[in-house]
Amino acid sequence: MKKLAAGLTITLLTLFASSTVSAAFVTDTDDGALTISGGSTFTTSSANYPGGFPDGNHVFGVMAGFTGATLLFNLITEYEFEYMGKEAGDTNTFAFASGSYSSFDTSSSLIGDDIVVGAADLVSWFFDGNNSNPATNPSPNILMAALGNYVWLGFDDREGGHVDYDDLVVRVSAVSAVPVPAAIWLFGTALIGFVGFSRRTVVT
């Protein structure tokens, strides 16, 4: 019994330790619709956001987030991708490898343009630039930051030697805010109720 208790204690401590380490590099939006997982922390010193990132200022001095991280979509629903501006002089783009969606580019897109994407195509997004290879999810050329119910994606095209992740900026949010776990819970509750009703009917 003592050996069993000791084994359980060690197992619990191991699980707690591993969850604590991983939690340090996981950031959720307030509504739980998006998660930034993994990567390395990075804070810009000067980033110009014509779209007003995030409080209406044309120049936002500090942006803290994660590079080389993975963006996870936690809901089975549509998501909105919104063009928030650019600092780059080169032509950079944001698009989807699957589905039939429009794209953003720094030469013609307007701040506020948006793309609504279905659940099946969400993971196919990528950035591309004249001076860099396509940046997919994850990439060291993308800085992710969670603010409120949004995740901001800042792309750096590696032009000019500066690293500020403001060469094309996209904001992501869920169109619906019903978490998948909640939907599963409701379905499970209904199923249990149905089974209970069936058993009561048989007994009667």
Contact 149, 173 (CB under 8 A): yes
Phi and psi at residue 182, in whole multiples of 5°?
-65, -40
Chain segment 12-54, per-residue pLDDT in tens: 333 323 333 333 468 899 999 999 999 999 887 655 554 444 4
**Distance between CA 113 and CA 158 in Å, rounded?**
25
| In the block, residue with structure tokens 């007994």 | 203
Contacts of 130 (CB under 8 A, 6+ apart): 90, 91, 92, 157, 159
The reported pLDDT for the residue numbered 177 is 53
Domain boundaries, the chain: 23-183
The reported pLDDT for the residue numbered 17 is 33
**pTM, rounded to two decimals:** 0.70
Tokens of 44: 């810009």
What residues of the chain score a pLDDT lower than 70? Answer: 1-25, 45-62, 88, 131-132, 160-162, 176-204
